[in-house]
């Protein structure tokens, strides 16, 4: 497919497994990809190393990409952090709270704030912003990391507000409610707690992890004109978890 032919796409958080998968999918559909991450990496046609919680670095990154390619069409914000110190709000330290919210919400706010104006300045104006959220933004979970869940709920609301605010400017903004995607980091969460995965699988309607290919395909759909009438939405990518009350044996 060539749904993204000629388009310039920024993938923020490109060094992660999901970021890499999305960058590959964008490239396979004809896009020019600028990969951005705080960690050293080699993802994309143009590689940028930047701290996405630092406003001057975020602003400079977009200036660099648009100066190089002359346009910007798609922004995928894949930034995020799960912290071992993030537990119940009754037990989480303020430093952890700030660190988790900065990584998961402030970074996306900054990437939207400084990236969207370049979408609007591209000829023709418009484009797609996709923000990584979580199914935890939609449910109450006694065992969840509460700072993380609160941050992802903030991402959903920010995406909803921006989607409505920009709806007549041809800039679409959507969130993706990620469920468990099969990555080494996700597996490691369960490996640290023997038996935890078996307990969770009972409550996952599809009874499995999502794949990186499935995740990347969903992001590519939202980046493309195939989703041209979708904005201010939160797309579930969770195998039905948020819709399940009970799961049959």
3-state secondary structure (DSSP) of residue 67: helix
At CA 40, angle to CA 78 and CA 158, rounded to 5? 20
SS (H, E, C) 3-54: CCCCCEEEEECCCCHHHHHHHHHHHHCCCEEEEEECCCCCCECEEEECCCCC
Written as six digits, the tokens of 185 are: 């980091």
Q: How far is CA 243 from CA 105, 221, 230, in A?
A: 24, 22, 20
Q: Is 148 a catalytic residue?
A: yes
- 240 alpha-carbon distance from chain centroid: 19
Point out the catalytic residue in the list 62, 69, 76, 148: 148
Hey, which residues are catalytic here?
148
């Amino acid at each position: 497919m060539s749904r993204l032919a000629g388009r310039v796409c920024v993938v923020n958080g490109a060094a992660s497994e999901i970021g890499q998968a999305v960058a590959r999918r964008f490239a396979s559909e004809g896009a020019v990809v600028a990969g951005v991450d705080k960690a050293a990496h080699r993802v994309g046609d143009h590689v940028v190393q930047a701290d996405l919680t630092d406003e001057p670095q975020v602003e400079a990154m977009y200036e660099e990409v648009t100066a190089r390619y002359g346009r910007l069409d798609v922004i995928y914000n894949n930034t995020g952090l799960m912290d071992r110190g993030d537990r119940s709000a009754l037990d989480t330290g303020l430093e952890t709270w700030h660190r988790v919210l900065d990584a998961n919400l402030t970074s996306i706010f900054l990437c939207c704030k400084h990236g969207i104006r370049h979408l609007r300045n591209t000829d023709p104006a418009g484009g797609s912003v996709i923000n990584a959220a979580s199914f935890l933004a939609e449910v109450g979970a006694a065992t969840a990391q509460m700072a993380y869940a609160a941050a992802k709920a903030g991402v959903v609301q920010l995406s909803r507000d921006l989607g409505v605010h920009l709806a007549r400017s041809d800039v679409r903004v959507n969130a993706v409610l990620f469920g468990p995607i099969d990555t080494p980091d996700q597996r490691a969460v369960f490996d640290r707690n023997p038996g935890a995965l078996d307990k969770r699988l009972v409550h996952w309607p599809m009874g499995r992890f999502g794949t990186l290919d499935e995740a990347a395909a969903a992001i590519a759909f939202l980046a493309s004109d195939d989703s041209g009438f979708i904005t201010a939405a939160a797309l579930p990518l969770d195998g039905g978890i948020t819709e399940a009350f009970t799961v049959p044996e």
